Amino acid sequence: MTQAPLHPLDQAVQLEPAGEHRYRGHTSQAYWNMIGPFGGATAAVMLQAALDHPERLGDPSALTVNFAGPIAEGAFEVVARPARTNRSTQHWHLELLQNGEITTTGSAVFAVRRDTWNCGEAVMPAVPAADSLPRMAGFAPVKWLGSYDMRAVRGAKPDAAAGTENPDSLTQFWLRDAPARTPDYTSIAAWCDAFYPRIFLKRAGFVPAGTVSLTTYFHADAATLAALGDRHVLGSAQARVFRQGFFDQTAEIWSPDGELLATSHQIVYYKE
Amino acid sequence: MTQAPLHPLDQAVQLEPAGEHRYRGHTSQAYWNMIGPFGGATAAVMLQAALDHPERLGDPSALTVNFAGPIAEGAFEVVARPARTNRSTQHWHLELLQNGEITTTGSAVFAVRRDTWNCGEAVMPAVPAADSLPRMAGFAPVKWLGSYDMRAVRGAKPDAAAGTENPDSLTQFWLRDAPARTPDYTSIAAWCDAFYPRIFLKRAGFVPAGTVSLTTYFHADAATLAALGDRHVLGSAQARVFRQGFFDQTAEIWSPDGELLATSHQIVYYKE
């Protein structure tokens, strides 16, 4: 009897218990950025610790991850401690440590979803179907891009002449894991950081930049995510302001049927 | 020699040291909601603890506050602990406790701002000047509304027939403290929660609702805020999706000169 190998994402977020509220994990080459892990993988593994915790109540509603310091290749520990558990919500304190030093802080809110009056006020952008678009080529030094199947709709690459300013910083692409994997909260947490820094697009060139703080709101229940199977989702991201070394980004993740699965916001450091 | 009395906001966020990384404060009647403090005042006092801390580096860039449980009228403690201090950024762990129980968790990122290439991609909405609009009447049971001078542009009150659905949940108003107070990071942290729950507007009626998690990004430096003096700022807020008991809100705070001072996001519980 053989067992199918774990999907690279499931490998990347695999944790083993290491004491009360503590878990041991390891960085993943499949989700490696240039000099550290892809931030989305870090967000995902911190959420995973709360998902795995025996006292977990409900499903993720909000996740904040603050990238405080570099993470080196190798082992790490995640602390996931329920700070307060109510009847239908649960608040988590999260930390990632390497060699006893805090590299990443965070918090999460889990909640029990209920049937209510619902309304999708925002409308999914009208875009060509994923199948009609070619898969984007990766960029060899950035390994984690190979773990995604991305189909560019617009703003996918800062490909104008360097130094030319673009009128907007809007990127839209269809996205799914590669190899394909049915989405869950873990993969959504990672997807929300899958947009390269908006300043690359705005300025049509590369400058040092990195996410400082990332907050994701999960709007879909587990059954909705499971029903997506291996279809692509539409990702969209844009900045509002670049000022004094920091810019913001708001991202949306849409199901192909037009349901808003997640919204995510981040503040990003840049040097220029 | 007499001293001018403290502004109500400065009273509300007044903290005294209570041990390492701990501060003692007290709820404020001027920022009282119906059955607890105005969430913006809670966010402001948690930020204030980091602002007051002797190890503080730089100014606020990001603030996340998770409303985990009710806060009663009376004394509370705020824990503000620098989790990691880098050369130009500092990461804070925040907690508010009452009688030893965690009511509110949070985190903040402080940063030293630098001169860089800047760009305001988002554009301030075209609205009538604050002076041309009447000050909104308060709503007696909600005391904190009396601590603000708000001038409605649109969507200021859910005033259609109850049960009628509005096409959007967009509110815009001019805002300043009452009495007027030159803004700083503390007042901005409070302002970002000054929008009543979007579902009241969308459904044109009242349902139980409360913020679960709030994240604010500060885009202006201290000198920019100080230069605003007692002019109004423009606040704008809208939801993207209402689903299964939770909706999101994105808010923007604009200077009257069209500079984006802050963006803020929250996920809000509702019952219906």
Task: Determine, yes or no, domain membership for B117.
Answer: no
- Decide if A243 and B272 are in contact by the 8 Å CB cutoff: no
- Residue A84 is nearest to which of B69, B122, B250, comparing CB atoms? B69
- Residue B217 is nearest to which of A109, A203, A248, comparing CB atoms? A248
**Torsion angles phi and psi, residue A145, rounded to 5:** -60, -30
Spatial separation of the C-alpha atoms in residues B39 and B32, rounded to whole Å = 9
Residue B197 maps to which CATH number?
2.40.160.210
Nearest-Cα distance to chain A for B222, in Å, is 12
Neighbours of B256 (CB within 10 A): 14
DSSP B136: P
* Number of domains comprising chain A: 1
Query: What value of ipTM does the predicted structure carry?
Result: 0.97
Longest dimension (CA), chain A: 59
State residue B139's pLDDT score: 81
Let me know the angle formed at the C-alpha of B259 by B256 and B262, rounded to the nearest 5 degrees.
Answer: 105
Report which secondary-structure segment, H or E, holds A248. Answer: strand A246-254
State residue B140's pLDDT score: 80
Give me the residue label for tokens 């709101």: A217
Classified as helix, coil or strand, B188 is: helix
Q: Residue B259 has which token pair?
A: 């500079």
- The length of chain B is 272
pLDDT digits (tens, 9 = 90+) for B80-124: 999 999 999 999 999 999 999 999 999 999 999 999 999 999 999
Task: Determine, yes or no, domain membership for A3.
Answer: no
Please list, residue by residue across B57-82, b when 16 or more beta carbons sit within 10 angstroms of its beta carbon and e when fewer do. Answer: bebbbbbbbbbbbebeeeebbbbbbb
Task: Determine, yes or no, domain membership for A92.
Answer: yes
Spatial separation of the C-alpha atoms in residues A169 and A199, rounded to whole Å = 7
pLDDT 10s digit of each residue in chain B, 272 long? 677 889 999 999 999 999 999 999 999 999 999 999 999 999 999 999 999 999 999 999 999 999 999 999 999 999 999 999 999 999 999 999 999 999 999 999 999 999 999 999 999 999 999 999 999 988 888 999 999 999 999 998 776 665 678 889 999 999 999 999 999 999 999 999 999 999 999 998 889 999 999 999 999 999 999 999 999 999 999 999 999 999 999 999 999 999 999 999 999 999 98
Classified as helix, coil or strand, B146 is: helix
Residue of A nearest to B115 (CA): A244
DSSP A188: H
Let me know the angle formed at the C-alpha of B118 by B113 and B124, rounded to the nearest 5 degrees.
Answer: 110
Task: Determine, yes or no, domain membership for A119.
Answer: no
Spatial separation of the C-alpha atoms in residues B214 and B66, rounded to whole Å = 6
Q: Give B65's Cβ-side CA count (13 Å radius).
A: 29
- Decide if A107 and B111 are in contact by the 8 Å CB cutoff: no
Q: Which amino acid, residue B38?
A: F
Task: Determine, yes or no, domain membership for B2.
Answer: no
- Decide if A220 and B242 are in contact by the 8 Å CB cutoff: no
- Residue A244 is nearest to which of B89, B114, B246, comparing CB atoms? B114
Task: Determine, yes or no, domain membership for B123.
Answer: no
- Residue A102 is nearest to which of B83, B239, B263, comparing CB atoms? B83
Task: Determine, yes or no, domain membership for B195.
Answer: yes
Chain A environment of B270 (Cβ under 8 Å) = 116
Q: Which of B46, B57, B64, B103 to mutate to test the interface with A (most CBs of A within 10 A)?
A: B64
Nearest-Cα distance to chain B for A121, in Å, is 5
Residue A25 pLDDT more than 60?
yes
Q: B residues 78-107 near A, CB within 8 Å?
A: 83-84, 86, 89, 91, 93, 95, 101-103, 105-107
Q: Which domain holds residue A231?
A: 8-112+133-270
Our CA dihedral for B36, B40, B43, B46, rounded to 10 degrees, sits at -70
- Decide if B83 and A89 are in contact by the 8 Å CB cutoff: no
pLDDT digits (tens, 9 = 90+) for A159-209: 666 567 888 999 999 999 999 999 999 999 999 999 999 999 999 888 999
Neighbours of A82 (CB within 10 A): 19
Spatial separation of the C-alpha atoms in residues A63 and A79, rounded to whole Å = 14
Spatial separation of the C-alpha atoms in residues B79 and B214, rounded to whole Å = 18
Q: B residues 116-145 near A, CB within 8 Å?
A: 116-122
Chain B environment of A83 (Cβ under 8 Å) = 68, 95, 102, 105
Chain A environment of B168 (Cβ under 8 Å) = 121
Longest dimension (CA), chain B: 59
Q: Which of B121, B123, B201, B271 to mutate to test the interface with A (most CBs of A within 10 A)?
A: B121
State residue B4's pLDDT score: 81
Beta bridge partners of B233: B175
Neighbours of B54 (CB within 10 A): 5
What is the CA A71 to chain-centroid distance, rounded? 17
State residue A103's pLDDT score: 98
Task: Determine, yes or no, domain membership for A120.
Answer: no
